Structure 1
Amino acid sequence: MRLGLLMVLAVCILAIFPAELYGQERKRTPALREQVYSQLARAQQLADGGDVKGGLAVLANVEGKLSSMNSYERAMLWNFYGFMYYGQDDINTAITYFSKVVQEDPIPDALLQGTLFSLAQLALGQERYQDSLNYLEQWQQAVGGEPQVKALVLRAQVLYQLKRYDDALAPIIAAIEASEQAGQRPEENWYVLARAIYFELDQIDQVAAVLVQMIKHYNKAEYWVQLAGVYAQLGQDKKQLAVLEAAHVQGYLTKGQDILNLAQAYFVNDIPYKAGVTLEQALAEKKVDANLRNLKLLAQSWVAARETDKAVAALAQAASLSDDGELDAQRAQVLLNAERNSEAMQAAQQALDKGGLKQPGNMHLVIGMAALNEEDFNTALQAFAAAKQFDDVRRTASQWERYASSEKEQAERIEALKQS
Structure 2
Amino acid sequence: MKNLLRNSLKIGLISISLCILSPSLSAAEKSTAISPWLYKQLSKAEGFIGKQAYPQARQKLQKILPDLDKNSYEQAITLRTLASVYALENQYKKAAKLLEQALATGALTEQQQQEALLNLGQLYMATEQYQKAVDKLAPWLKQHPETKNTQVRVLLANAYAQLKQYRKAIPYIEYVIKHSKRPKESWLQLNLALYYELENYSVAAGVLRRLITQYPNKKNYWQQLASIYQQLQQHRNALTIKHLAYKKGFIGSESDILQLFNLFLYNNQPYQAALLLSKELDIQNVKQTSTNWELLANAWTNAREYKHAINALEKASTLHEKGDLYLQLGRIHVEQELWQAAITAINEALKKGSLKHTGEAYILLGMSYYESGHLKPAQKAFNNAQRHPKTKKSAGQWLNYIETERRS
Kindly state the Cα deviation for residue 167 of structure 1 after the two structures are TM-superposed: 2.6
Q: CA deviation at 1:144?
A: 5.0
Q: For residues 68-99 of structure 1, what are the alpha-carbon distances to aligned partners after superposition, in whole Å with 9 as ceiling and x for unaligned?
A: 46522222222222221222222222222222
Are 1:239 and 2:237 counterparts? yes
**Matching residue within 187, 191, 199 for 1:194:** 191
Q: Following TM superposition, by how much is the alpha carbon of 1:334 offset from its aligned partner in structure 2, in angstroms?
A: 2.0
Q: Offset at 1:370? A: 1.5
Deviations 1:258-290 (A, max 9, x none): 332222222222222221221122222232333
1:89-147 CA distance string (max 9 Å, x none): 22222222222222222211112111212222232233222122122124325645478
Find the counterpart in structure 2 of residue 417 from structure 1: none
- Alpha-carbon spacing, 1:37–1:307, altered in 2? closer, same or farther (3 Å): same
- SS of aligned partner of 1:57: helix
Alpha-carbon distance between aligned partners in 2 of 1:214 and 1:260, rounded to the nearest angstrom: 25
Aligned-pair CA distance for 1:254: 3.6
Q: Is 1:140–2:138 an aligned residue pair?
A: no
1:217 aligns with 2:221: no
Q: Distance in 2 between matches of 1:148 and 1:127?
A: 22
Equivalent residue number for residue 324 of structure 2: 326
Listed one character per residue, the Cα deviations across residues 178-197 of structure 1 (whole Å, up to 9, x for unaligned) are 43xxxx12222222222222
User: Match of 2:100?
Assistant: 99
Does the Cα contact within 8 Å between 2:16 and 2:122 map onto a contact in 1? no
1:24-58 Cα offsets, whole Å, 9 max, x none, are xxxxxx82223213212212221321322222221
CA separation of 1:151/1:356 partners in 2, compared to 1, >3 Å: closer, same or farther?
farther
Q: Does 1:157 align with 2:155?
A: no
Query: Aligned pair 1:38/2:35, yes or no?
Result: no
**Which structure is higher in RCO with an 8 Å CA cutoff and minimum separation 6?**
2
User: How do residues 160-199 of structure 1 correspond to structure 2 at under 5 angstroms?
Assistant: 160-179=161-180, 184-199=181-196
Counterpart-to-counterpart distance in 2, 1:5 and 1:188: 15
Residue in 1 that maps onto 2:4: none
State whether residues 270 and 299 of structure 2, in contact with CA within 8 Å, keep that contact through their aligned partners in structure 1. Answer: yes
What secondary structure does 1:222 align onto? helix
> How is 1:372-411 mapped onto 2 (pairs within 5 angstroms)?
372-407=370-405, 409=406
Contact between 2:18 and 2:123, CA under 8 Å: does it hold in 1? Answer: no
Question: Cα offset for 1:7?
Answer: 5.2
CA distance in 1, matches of 2:276, 2:131: 52
CA contact (8 A) 1:47 1:53 kept: no
1:346 to 344, 357, 382: 344
Q: Distance in 2 between matches of 1:3 and 1:385?
A: 79
Q: Which amino acid in structure 1 is aligned with residue 342 of structure 2?
A: A
Q: 1:150 to 1:275 in 2, by over 3 A?
A: same
Deviations 1:361-407 (A, max 9, x none): 22222212221221222222222232233333444434444444444
Q: Give ranges in structure 2 of 5+ residues lacking alignment.
A: 1-12
Q: How does 1:245-256 map to 2 (within 5 A)?
A: 245-256=243-254
Per the alignment, do residues 351 and 82 of structure 1 end up closer, same or farther by CA in structure 2, a change over 3 Å counting? farther
Q: 1:52 and 2:54 equivalent?
A: yes
* TM superposition shift of 1:205: 1.9
Q: RMSD between aligned alpha carbons?
A: 3.0
Q: Which of the residues 285, 303, 306 maps onto 1:308?
A: 306
1:129 corresponds in structure 2 to 130
Matches within 5 A, 1:262-281: 262-281=260-279
**Structure-2 separation of matches of 1:287 and 1:271:** 21
- The alignment's TM-score, normalised by the length of structure 2, stands at 0.85
The Cα shift of 1:327 comes to 2.2
For 2:14 and 2:366, the matched residues in 1 are separated by 81
Match of 1:361 among 338, 359, 362: 359
Provide the residue aligned with 2:5 in structure 1: none
Count of aligned residue pairs for this structure pair: 395
Structure 1 Cα separation of the partners of residues 24 and 306 of structure 2: 80
**Kept in 2: contact 1:365–1:383 (CA 8 A):** yes
> Can you list the C-alpha shifts for 1:192-219, whole angstroms capped at 9, x where unaligned?
2222222222222222222222222322
1:222-261 CA deviation, whole Å, 9 max, x = no partner? 2222222222222222222222233333333344433322
2:79 is aligned with 1:78? yes
Check the 8 A contact 1:117/1:135 in 2, yes or no.
Answer: no
| TM-score, length-scaled by structure 1 | 0.83
